Amino acid sequence: MLRAFTYLIVGWLLVAATGGLAEVLGLTIVLPATSAVVIAHAAFTGERELIPGLAVAVSLGYIEDLHQGAPVGVLSLSLAVAFLMLHWAAGRIAVRGWPMRALVSLMAVALIDAATLAILLALAEPLSVRTEALLPMLIGLRWHALATVLVAPPVWALLSRLFDLFRLEPRPPSDLHLDPR
CATH number at residue 58: 1.10.1760
In this structure, is residue 10 part of a structural domain? yes
Q: Which pLDDT does position 137 carry in this prediction?
A: 80
Q: Which pLDDT does position 48 carry in this prediction?
A: 77
In this structure, is residue 178 part of a structural domain? no
Gyration radius of the chain's alpha carbons:
17
Domain that holds residue 127: 2-17+26-165
In this structure, is residue 92 part of a structural domain? yes
Is residue 24 scored above 60 in pLDDT? Answer: yes
Q: Which pLDDT does position 86 carry in this prediction?
A: 94
Return the amino acid letter for 111. L
Distance CA 165, CA 169 (A): 9
DSSP code, position 115: H
In this structure, is residue 171 part of a structural domain? no
Distance CA 23, CA 48 (A): 35
Q: What percent of the chain has pLDDT over 70?
A: 92
Is residue 178 scored above 60 in pLDDT? Answer: no
What mean pLDDT, rounded, does the chain reach? 87
pLDDT tier for residue 75 given thresholds of 50, 70 and 90: very high
In this structure, is residue 155 part of a structural domain? yes
In this structure, is residue 177 part of a structural domain? no
In this structure, is residue 125 part of a structural domain? yes
Distance CA 84, CA 79 (A): 9
In this structure, is residue 88 part of a structural domain? yes
Q: Which pLDDT does position 2 carry in this prediction?
A: 84
Q: Are 113 and 144 in contact (CB under 8 A)?
A: yes
Q: Which pLDDT does position 175 carry in this prediction?
A: 60
With 0-12 CB in 10 A as exposed, 13-18 as middle and 19+ as buried, what is 105? buried
Q: Are 59 and 1 in contact (CB under 8 A)?
A: no
Q: Which pLDDT does position 174 carry in this prediction?
A: 56
Tell me the average pLDDT across 8-24: 92
pTM, two decimals, is 0.87
Count of domains for the chain: 1
